[in-house]
Amino acid sequence: MKKTMIFLALNLIAATSQAHVGFVQDKAEQGSTVRFALKVPHGCGTAATSSIKINIPEGIQAAKPMPKANWDVKINKATLSKPYESHGKTVTEDVNSLTWSNGNLPADFYDEFVFQAKAASAAGPVYFVVEQSCGNTKQVWQSMSHDDAYPAAVFTIMPKAEQTHSSHHH
């Protein structure tokens, strides 16, 4: 009986602390290439998640999704308001959303949706609006306040560390 109560208490703590979408690793250094893994902790009520769309904010560059078994992946691009330089070329269009669809993530399970991108924007928090669809139901995680019922996924870009002379290769 005691073990059951402890197990239930731990599950309740886990459920309340993992109730929002968010990144497994939520910090990286400015200019670094990052593996973003978005946790989706549950469906919409009892309905299974069938689609996840991650809106990629400007300043997160060259996003590439990881394929996911039994899900379709779509990359959407848009013209940038501020082009950037990459490998000697001016980039005027970049990924603005990634969508995994036609999948099935039962409400009682969690999963991760993974992509790689460059954390190029200024240091500070970056908000990713996430659209979670469960059949005909859609939940948009977009609030800038973590206290809201549906906060956006937040990623913090840390200032680039100072290079020391010992780290340079000659």
Task: Calculate ∠ Cα 126-160-31, nearest 5°.
Answer: 60
pLDDT value at position 122?
85
Kindly report the number of other CB atoms within 10 A of residue 59's CB atom: 19
- Fold adopted by 20-160: Immunoglobulin-like (2.60.40)
Specify the DSSP element, H or E, that contains 165: none
* Domain chopping of the chain, boundaries: 20-160
How much is the mean pLDDT over the chain?
Answer: 86
pLDDT tens digit sequence for 51-88 = 999 999 988 999 999 999 999 999 999 999 999 988 89
pLDDT of 115-128, one tens digit each?
Answer: 999 998 789 999 99
pLDDT at 75: 98
Give the phi and the psi of residue 42 in degrees, each rounded to 5: -170, 170
Distance of CA 69 to the CA centre of its chain: 18
CA 165 to chain CA mean position, Å? 35
> HSE (CB half, 13 Å, CA atoms) of 83?
9
Which secondary structure element, helix H or strand E, spans residue 2, and what is its range?
helix 2-17
Whether 117 and 57 have beta carbons less than 8 Å apart is answered as no
**Average pLDDT value for residue range 4-16:** 37
Q: Who wins on pLDDT, 149 or 70?
A: 70
Q: Give the confidence band of 164 by pLDDT, cuts at 50, 70, 90.
A: low
**145 vs 77, higher pLDDT:** 77
**Length of the chain (residues):** 170
pLDDT at 21 over 70: yes
Q: What is the pLDDT of residue 76?
A: 98
The pTM of the whole model exceeds 0.85:
no
